[in-house]
Structure 1
Amino acid sequence: MKLFKTIILTLIVVLGLLNTSCEVIDVTDVDPVYQVSEDKVITNLDQAQTVLYGTYGILIDGLEYAVYAPAITSMMGLTMQPGIWGGSSENAFFNNDVSSDNFYLEAIYTKMYFLLNNANHIISKTEKLEIIETQRKNEIIAEAKALRALTHFYLLRLWGQFYDGNSEYGIVLKEQPISDASIQPRTTVQATYELILDDLDFAIDNAPDFSNTFYVSNLFAKALKSKVLLYKKDYEAAAQLALEVINSSDRTLEDTFSEIFTKKIIDTKEVLFQTPFDNLNDRNNKAFMFRSYFGLSEYYVSFLENDARKDAAIAYTSTGSVRNNKFNGSTYNGVPLTADTEYFLRLDEVYLIYAEAVLRGNDDIDQSLWAVNKVRERSTNSLLDTSDKDELLAAIREEKVFELGAESGEEWFDLVRYHIEGDIDINDYKTLSSDSKLILPLPFQTIQLSNNIIKQNPDY
């Protein structure tokens, strides 16, 4: 991670009037990125709002969040492999043998800590504002905390032993803006979870109601908390929160599976949070990257052979080559694009979170079957019917591959979790030299610049 002596905040200057209301704007309608020094940024709510928009902009500035992170985890898992332009850097993830000097590690790690720095700047400075309009003040802080929680969770899943609450191998937590070159050691996994959940609790209580998929909301915070609790193995609480999201009137499943990927960012029904794109500033080239550098795995193509979602998920060229049809080019204002979105969380995943959590936490096979079958019914697949808990757990994991495959690598983290729980042997799916490969090595530069204050992961 790059350590800065002076904080540089990335701001996206929003066209139009910025005010203190909770009204949302189109984040695709923005000017280029600018840099503003710390002492001139947040002295009122308008400025806090501007920095918040800039922090959302980090998600779409570059390829780290929308392309690299989802691609490398999908290659670590089961659904993607290096594309025709993929080389040794991509193959390392597919083979689950990544070295600490891999380009993608440094790019993703640095960008995520850059977002954390901006979020912390918003939180710390906005908390100190003495103003009457406390509602919007708290909403701004809540949105920043939700983005901080999301990013800490991503970092923990990739670089921390998220599956072991007693592990010392958490991540470097960031709760304050970086103001000097001091180096922080890693915290424990437990401490990492505690901050993530504290941030999400604040966001659930204070973030705006859901109104737009481009911004976090209290509903998204609740859904993300249910996912975090699932990973933390607090299954009953995870199930309760997931059911509350499912029962909310704000989001419903799309009528068909294919509509998720044909609508993209327009009039979506089930997306909770995603990145925007357009034909001007935010042409992220995701569709091109997802067929040139990162392609579909043979396993995934074969896995979908008899599933009703196959045609929506897989496309074929005139020469018979496969393409990721979920991200196979789109249109914006009638203009064909190779840009595309990143779905951070959708309602279909919340159903599957609930299915697993209520089964592991309450042994409730009926409720678990109901949730899985809601997703299968939407996709026009046959419904599941089993009274065997182990069989149903396996079916839930496979349903995640069917529903979320070749997107953000969710199946990789499921393999890790199921392996740790003893439900599967991960080596039946991906050959690992040891369990140390369940997480990635911290970037070489991070360890070197810290003078080993930041500990490298075991066996790297």
Structure 2
Amino acid sequence: MKKIKFIYKCLFCLTVSCFTSCQLTEDIDDYESLFTLNAFDAIADEASAELALVGAYSGFKQRSTASGLPELFMIPSVLSGVGVSARPSVEFDAYQNNDPTSQNTTSNLGAYTRMYDLINRCNWLIQGLNNLDSSKFDNPARYAEVLAETKALRATANFYLLRLWGQFYDVNSIYGINIRTAPALSSEAFPRNSVAETYDAITADLDEAIANAPDFTSKLGISKTYAKALKAKVLLYKGEFSQAATLAKDVIDNSGANFALASTYAEIFDNSSEATFSSSEYLFITGGGPGVFIGIENFWGTFFVAPSSTFPSTVAAGITDVGGQMISYDNNRVSSMFGFDNFKFGRPYPKIYHLRMAEVYLIFAEANARANNSVTLEALDALNAVRLRAGATTTGGDGFETYPATISLTQFLDAVRIEKMVEVGGESGEEWFDLVRFHFVDGFDVTTIKASATDPDKFILPIDLQTIEAGGNIIEQNPGY
């Protein structure tokens, strides 16, 4: 056991030094340290591969107060107005004003490098597996599963990078991210890939996970179902609506009891015991426990980002007149989320919700309607399923009701956007990326939700100048910064 722990420590240290050091001036191949294991030889069997996989998963857990991980999920919610800066911070005040700064950032730089650190961990493991034969595993079938899980983790990190620092809304844009498919062996910087190339890399990794990841282990691990659902989300972002709808529908209809809408909204966020990690609602989560912090529970609340006092009124303004019937959004999800600190990320068993079933229903609803250019019965049922779970009624009257079939396509798409804001708001910033997508797809005026969001160039974050300068200006800055 001590040997395994030592191998992991070596992998961890090498991974961090490979990527994050801006002072690295010589190739790793030229540097030898006492008491270390050559990373090329570290993954030698199933046990060492499994341990390295644990290290890759842990990239979604906070290591220090300056790690950038919690900010990765909070910054977009501040951009959207769901959250506000809880204490004086030049950087977070800039996000609140939708005018991010590109110099001397802590959160922006930390979140950016943290995802590349996770990707580098994945790349070391993938290289190690490629140098092995499945016969080295006690369970040879596990070889393909470990490789598939690792690639899905890499796809997840790349997707997070693209939607914050790349023009994810324009598949023809040159401003994607830097795709790394091999371990970093030096401080050499590489140019950015296009958005199309970035999406291709993400979907290729997800395709392997769909084919070879485990059917199910736990909600803390990657499964075929998560990979399929994430690909549906990626295709929605790309504008490939028909394919997105097909995949999302497959997840909804064919995933079995392990993946289904939870009975009630409140139970999703019951953080009282470890049993909460097994909810059918989750497709993939990162979880903590007593004394095991994931980071976001320390930041969302009053420490760094607080719930916005204007969010409930933003939701209330979403009342829709459908054929004379006034349809509103329930206040229960909003008030429970913002009634006290850390409802969604409470202790002692906090979670990061990478993807859950309610969002898959809403992905299907939007993608199906866009693909058919009409509100189909299937799309309407998917939207109403999320509302019914939250307590909506079907009386035909006013209030928190299910949507009737008379709803127009324009009303329906906006209803899906608002429903997602109410349902998953503050979890990963998805409500912000929806605003950005709807702006570029439909011409939606983001200032009707966030008055300061006037500059579309500032809908994505700048790459911190420290990263650009450390790479010899090889990495091109986003327009407008």
TM-score (norm 2): 0.82
Q: Which amino acid aligns with 1:358?
A: N
Alpha-carbon contact 1:73-1:410 (below 8 Å) kept: yes
2:55 is the alignment partner of 1:49: no
Aligned counterpart in structure 2 of residue 296 of structure 1, from 307, 326, 341: 307
1:224 alignment partner in structure 2: 230
Aligned counterpart in structure 1 of residue 433 of structure 2, from 409, 413, 436: 413
Between 1:420-429 and 1:220-229, the stretch displaced more is: 420-429
Aligned counterpart in structure 2 of residue 254 of structure 1, from 259, 262, 286: 262
Residue deviations 1:288-310, cap 9 Å, x none? 54322101112313245652323
| Partners of 1:113 and 1:56 in 2: CA distance | 13
Distance 1:36 1:108, change over 3 A: farther
- Where 2:391 maps in the other structure, the secondary structure is coil
Residue deviations 1:89-143, cap 9 Å, x none? 2111111111112211111111110110110111122022123354211111100
2:398 alignment partner in structure 1: none
Distance 1:163 1:285, change over 3 A: closer
- Where 2:284 maps in the other structure, the secondary structure is strand
| Partners of 2:280 and 2:407 in 1: CA distance | 32
Q: Percent identity?
A: 38
Distance 1:282 1:311, change over 3 A: same
| Partners of 1:270 and 1:443 in 2: CA distance | 36
Residue deviations 1:136-179, cap 9 Å, x none? 11111100000000000000000010111111101010100011
Please report how far the alpha carbon of residue 429 of structure 1 lies from its aligned counterpart in structure 2 after TM superposition: 2.2
2:347 alignment partner in structure 1: 330
Please report how far the alpha carbon of residue 232 of structure 1 lies from its aligned counterpart in structure 2 after TM superposition: 0.5
| Partners of 1:120 and 1:94 in 2: CA distance | 35
1:94 alignment partner in structure 2: 96
Aligned counterpart in structure 2 of residue 398 of structure 1, from 418, 421, 426: 418
TM-score (norm 1): 0.86
| Partners of 2:159 and 2:295 in 1: CA distance | 24
1:244 alignment partner in structure 2: 250
Alpha-carbon contact 1:242-1:354 (below 8 Å) kept: yes
2:147 is the alignment partner of 1:126: no
Instruction: Mark the runs of 5 or more structure 2 residues left unpaired by the alignment.
Output: 1-8, 14-34, 317-329, 393-400
1:341 alignment partner in structure 2: 351
Aligned counterpart in structure 2 of residue 82 of structure 1, from 77, 80, 85: 85
Instruction: Mark the runs of 5 or more structure 1 residues left unpaired by the alignment.
Output: 1-6, 12-33, 317-322, 333-339
Residue deviations 1:415-460, cap 9 Å, x none? 0000001241122222234221111100111110111111011121
2:405 is the alignment partner of 1:363: no
Moved over 6 A (4+): none
- Where 2:355 maps in the other structure, the secondary structure is strand
Between 1:36-45 and 1:221-230, the stretch displaced more is: 36-45
Distance 1:363 1:35, change over 3 A: farther
- Where 1:116 maps in the other structure, the secondary structure is helix
| Partners of 2:357 and 2:132 in 1: CA distance | 36
- Where 2:11 maps in the other structure, the secondary structure is strand
Between 1:147-156 and 1:441-450, the stretch displaced more is: 441-450
Please report how far the alpha carbon of residue 211 of structure 1 lies from its aligned counterpart in structure 2 after TM superposition: 2.7
Instruction: Give the alignment's Cα RMSD to 1 decimal.
Output: 2.1
Distance 1:222 1:86, change over 3 A: farther
Please report how far the alpha carbon of residue 189 of structure 1 lies from its aligned counterpart in structure 2 after TM superposition: 0.4
Q: Which amino acid aligns with 1:255?
A: S
Q: Which amino acid aligns with 1:330?
A: R
Residues 56-455 of structure 1 correspond to what in structure 2 (within 5 A)? Answer: 56-62=57-63, 67-83=70-86, 85-101=87-103, 102-132=105-135, 134-247=140-253, 248-249=255-256, 250-263=258-271, 265-282=276-293, 284=295, 286-287=297-298, 289-304=300-315, 306-316=330-340, 323-327=341-345, 329-331=346-348, 340-365=350-375, 366-381=377-392, 382-385=401-404, 386-430=406-450, 431-455=452-476
2:469 is the alignment partner of 1:458: no
Between 1:297-306 and 1:342-351, the stretch displaced more is: 297-306
Between 1:200-209 and 1:359-368, the stretch displaced more is: 359-368
Q: Which amino acid aligns with 2:97?
A: N
Residues 2-17 of structure 1 correspond to what in structure 2 (within 5 A)? Answer: 9-10=11-12
Residue deviations 1:354-392, cap 9 Å, x none? 000000012351211100000000000220123310000
Please report how far the alpha carbon of residue 408 of structure 1 lies from its aligned counterpart in structure 2 after TM superposition: 1.3
